[in-house]
């Protein structure tokens, strides 16, 4: 059986209900998951959290508590957002029935997968969903689609546990970068584009979003990440040097060579 615990994180963004938080800890323990991260006003020390977590309180004690969504997902290679709606037809929505198989394949490749759930009242916003590599909608009755947060987590973890019990582990090495490394790559790419005045001449806001989607939308290996960072760093420095004239160009290129070495 595949050990999901080392590679799957349950991520709760802006969670507010202590009963929900405690119940989620208990559900995680039921299915053999231990890695929990959260943002929001709860400390995890509330009495209701402890009451509903029951013997799963150690999960809460070890949980990652951060302030920002970017921090919550930073160490994950893949982020899967759970949402009752899929706002875009961009081929990033995974049907619920295919979700366990897709996640299991990612885990077998050595990727850390974050299952991201939003606030009890509002879920994940469109802006927050853009941080997700994939989206999953849990099929509910059209007559009553609202789902309790702890129930949604249960609906996500149960098929994963079932699938893991039926699967054999595959030893596949992976060196894909994390979400925080993707952010660095995108910032470097955008800086390079700004230096070349590419964004201004091609419709800044639309082009910027399209380019961000391209660079955030695929898995980069550590080696690819290093090569692209080097390319953008050197390209930005050299372009700036050429733009400032002969006198400053020589100095800038020399500084660039020192930095690259």
pLDDT digits (tens), the chain, 261 positions: 566 778 999 999 999 999 999 999 999 999 999 999 999 999 999 999 999 998 899 999 999 999 999 999 999 999 999 998 878 888 899 999 999 999 999 998 889 999 999 998 889 999 999 999 999 999 988 888 788 999 999 999 999 988 776 654 444 445 778 888 888 888 888 888 888 877 665 556 777 777 887 877 777 888 888 888 888 888 888 888 887 765 444 444 445 444 444
Domain chopping of the chain, boundaries: 8-166, 179-260
- Please report, in angstroms and rounded to a whole number, the separation of the first and last CA atoms in the chain: 46
Q: What is the pLDDT of residue 145?
A: 79
Specify the DSSP element, H or E, that contains 129.
Answer: helix 126-129
Contact 45, 99 (CB under 8 A): no
Q: What is the pLDDT of residue 167?
A: 56
Q: Compute CA distances 130 → 15, 88, 165, 189, 240, whole Å.
A: 19, 10, 32, 18, 32
For the record, the structure tokens of 116 come out as: 């991201």
Dihedral, CA of residue 73, residue 79, residue 85 and residue 86, to nearest 10: 120
Q: What is the pLDDT of residue 12?
A: 98
Taking the domain 8-166, which CATH number applies? 3.40.1280.10
Q: What is the pLDDT of residue 162?
A: 85
SS3 state of residue 113: strand
Give the closest residue to 211 by CA, choosing from 228, 189, 191, 196. 189
Contacts 24+ apart (CB under 8 A), 247-254: none
Give the closest residue to 135 by CA, choosing from 179, 77, 76, 95. 95
Give the closest residue to 181 by CA, choosing from 259, 35, 67, 70. 70
DSSP letters, 211-254, are HHHHHHSS--BHHHHHHHHHHHHHHHHHHHHHHT-HHHHHHHHH
């Amino acid at each position: 059986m595949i050990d999901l615990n080392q590679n799957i994180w349950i991520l709760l963004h802006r969670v507010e209900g202590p009963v929900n938080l405690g119940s989620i800890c208990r559900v995680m323990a039921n299915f053999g998951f231990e890695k929990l991260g959260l943002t929001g006003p709860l400390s995890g020390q509330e009495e209701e959290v402890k009451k509903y977590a029951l013997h799963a309180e150690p999960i809460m004690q070890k949980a990652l508590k951060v302030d920002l969504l970017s921090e919550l997902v930073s160490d994950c290679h893949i982020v899967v957002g759970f949402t009752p709606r899929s706002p875009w037809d961009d081929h990033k929505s995974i049907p619920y029935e295919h979700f366990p198989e897709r996640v299991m394949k990612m885990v077998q490749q050595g990727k850390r997968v974050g299952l991201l759930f939003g606030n009890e009242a509002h879920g994940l916003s469109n802006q927050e969903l853009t941080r997700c590599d994939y989206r999953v909608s849990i099929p509910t009755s059209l007559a009553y689609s609202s789902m309790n947060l702890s129930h949604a987590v249960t609906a996500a973890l149960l098929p994963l546990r079932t699938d893991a019990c039926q699967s054999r582990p595959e030893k596949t090495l992976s060196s894909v970068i994390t979400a925080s490394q993707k952010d660095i790559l995108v910032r470097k790419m955008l800086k390079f584009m700004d230096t070349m005045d590419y964004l201004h001449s091609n419709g800044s806001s639309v082009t910027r979003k399209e380019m961000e989607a391209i660079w955030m939308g695929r898995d980069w290996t550590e080696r690819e990440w290093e090569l692209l960072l080097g390319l953008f760093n050197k390209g930005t420095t050299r372009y700036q040097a050429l733009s400032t004239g002969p006198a400053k160009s020589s100095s800038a290129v020399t500084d660039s060579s020192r930095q690259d070495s």
